[in-house]
Structure 1
């Protein structure tokens, strides 16, 4: 009889990173997988599910307009408790650092259901940065029975927090699995931007700087400073195209459109589905971002990344030379971007650095260890 495993996620980044693992687990006869999504990201989440042809078993659709984190947590705790009661999973898989992940872990803990934490052990050392993600990571680690850190550095973080070594497995990051699967899929179907889409209107040649931003820690002054830097770069490099898929959050939309709209070499476009975004990363020359996942994905494509945050929970990328922290100071952003646009040697040094986040087989490693752990639990219960 197969083991009953539940996977819970709710945001677009979680879906990208959990999709290859869900596909892997559904190929394993030892596993009966139940996928529950919370809908913490609504439209953007469905795009990823469609892109990976991933069928979900339950969608809680918990988000409401203007919802606070406490309101979201309250909704999640109650709804997930009902799902756990109905499904009786033997273990719950959560990912990373979202409110969905922590509350799903807490709801499972309240029912004595073990938790496995994918992408465990990432740390900045500052509980308020990124907020609330850093706290979510710590709290989930306290609850989890099984940890899947993507790198040795993440494993060492968990060891310093007294997580037993036998409860963890270094696996690489599933986002590389997702990226490789999607790239192969796009090549197989000879994917091109749809006629009339914002990507179809982009020039076929010339340098393109891709920009993304959505972190709560940058709301307000942070995004204003980022936009000031992008405007200065657009003036300095009129031959470079700056493309910004703008996050749907009004606290991102308002400053970005107010400060960057109407400029000839800045394209503000809607958020892109995952296939389109993978294509856009491949088309780019370099990437400015405050995202976490892009710090892992872009190096696999040979794209330098400048991280517009004060710190990063992915220091392995900084140590490997694939990303640089530039903060939100406009002068620093302009200086570091200019260096990569002007200095061929600097650009090549970053673009050719080795990606520390694995070989695209993280999902297989996680599935193998998960099945072994479940088997051991059943053996212990039978004694």
Structure 2
């Protein structure tokens, strides 16, 4: 029996990892351990660890590593604290494989710790291109990893071009697609409880907004104000999820609160977090999604939800025809959003897979033998 330790660091992280955890837990040849860290443990981000446990997964370990401040210095210090704390848990659990997903700095701490402890590391969603520090973080995790599960053909090619052995790269698609494609649209009022503002009327169209900080451009208050002004002009009821913990998140939150206090924004409904399935239903049913979340690029390709991408946090990431970019200008955001609303739902595509990633990941993890001593694979001129 192989012991697989899955690391969960934030709400989006869990949403994409959940179908993999379900597959691993159901396999009699695998002993699944789950470690929660990062904002998974913090009440102001919805304490997602409680959702993980209510979904039937036993959380073996909780590692507190986030240093308050939401600035570049606290992000950097959190990585250092994470390495110290995670190393202790890795030694205690002694897994056969550690499983990570994405590009978070908390995941980078886990990758560094695992690599220096000679623990085999498997990485989901490597090789992708995006803005901010996230891309550098993702590629660093790739170089520490021994087994790669990219979500697209291009990402798989990029991993190999980074010198990783082609024998260690398996293009399985994005695990989130495993349940998005089969998820019903039966969104209910109780699914949206727990937020602040006028409750959403599901009998009417609504918008979904997520806007995260850009760590290479921390002061995004003006950008948030432009988005809010455009939404106010549209006047459609809007669900806005709070930003992640990255440097600059406090300024985004402050701008939103200030707008609510100084405007009669009855259309605005703020909420910390949704369970994975509820979030995907909210995204699938939205008339349009606006912001800079990778979920709007990746997950929306399966459902065809119209998306307005604002800013350069996701610059270069592969996207479907359902996405249009907008400038940080209230007039442009308004015009692009109205165009997307009028267009309606697009046809889904399979750029991020066909919906069977978790099964493939499970089978490969059961049998793959990692070579701890890594070296650059020759890829020619």
**Counterpart for residue 363 of structure 1:** 358
Q: Deviations over 1:29-79 (max 9, x none)?
A: 221121111233423322541563322111112234337122211211111
**Counterpart for residue 91 of structure 1:** 97
Distance verdict in 2 for CA 1:368–1:53, change over 3 Å = same
CA contact (8 A) 2:206 2:287 kept: yes
Q: Answer yes or no: is 1:14 the counterpart of 2:10.
A: no
Q: Answer yes or no: is 1:242 the counterpart of 2:245.
A: no
Q: Answer yes or no: is 1:224 the counterpart of 2:222.
A: yes
- CA separation in 2, counterparts of 1:272 and 1:102? 23
- CA separation in 2, counterparts of 1:310 and 1:362? 28
**Counterpart for residue 333 of structure 1:** 333
Distance verdict in 2 for CA 1:122–1:164, change over 3 Å = same
User: How far apart are residue 219 of structure 1 and its match?
Assistant: 6.4
**What pairs with 1:7-156 in structure 2 (closer than 5 Å)?**
7-41=6-40, 42-43=42-43, 44=46, 45-50=48-53, 52-66=55-69, 68-124=74-130, 129-131=131-133, 133-156=134-157
TM normalised by structure 1 equals 0.83
**Counterpart for residue 381 of structure 1:** none
User: How far apart are residue 354 of structure 1 and its match?
Assistant: 1.8
- CA separation in 2, counterparts of 1:110 and 1:220? 32
- CA separation in 1, counterparts of 2:10 and 2:192? 28
User: How far apart are residue 109 of structure 1 and its match?
Assistant: 0.8
Higher mean displacement: 303-312 or 257-266: 257-266
Tell me the SS of whatever aligns to 1:62. coil
Higher mean displacement: 70-79 or 139-148: 70-79
Q: Answer yes or no: is 1:176 the counterpart of 2:173.
A: no
Tell me which of the two structures has the higher relative contact order, counting C-alpha pairs closer than 8 angstroms and 6 or more residues apart.
2
User: How far apart are residue 135 of structure 1 and its match?
Assistant: 1.4
Gaps spanning 5+ residues in structure 2: where?
Answer: 372-381
**Counterpart for residue 375 of structure 2:** none
Higher helix share: 1
Higher mean displacement: 196-205 or 260-269: 196-205
- CA separation in 2, counterparts of 1:176 and 1:32? 24
CA contact (8 A) 1:242 1:267 kept: yes
- CA separation in 2, counterparts of 1:194 and 1:23? 22
**Counterpart for residue 164 of structure 1:** 165
CA contact (8 A) 1:310 1:327 kept: no
Tell me the SS of whatever aligns to 1:216. coil
**Counterpart for residue 380 of structure 1:** none
Alpha-carbon RMSD across the aligned residues, in angstroms, is 2.8
CA contact (8 A) 1:39 1:59 kept: no
Distance verdict in 2 for CA 1:259–1:75, change over 3 Å = same
Tell me the SS of whatever aligns to 1:150. coil
Residue-pair matches, total:
358
TM normalised by structure 2 equals 0.84
User: How far apart are residue 313 of structure 1 and its match?
Assistant: 5.9
CA contact (8 A) 2:200 2:269 kept: no
CA contact (8 A) 2:213 2:243 kept: no
- CA separation in 2, counterparts of 1:156 and 1:326? 29
Q: Deviations over 1:140-196 (max 9, x none)?
A: 111111110001011121122122211100011012225357x35x85xx8542696
- CA separation in 2, counterparts of 1:16 and 1:31? 21
Tell me the SS of whatever aligns to 1:40. helix
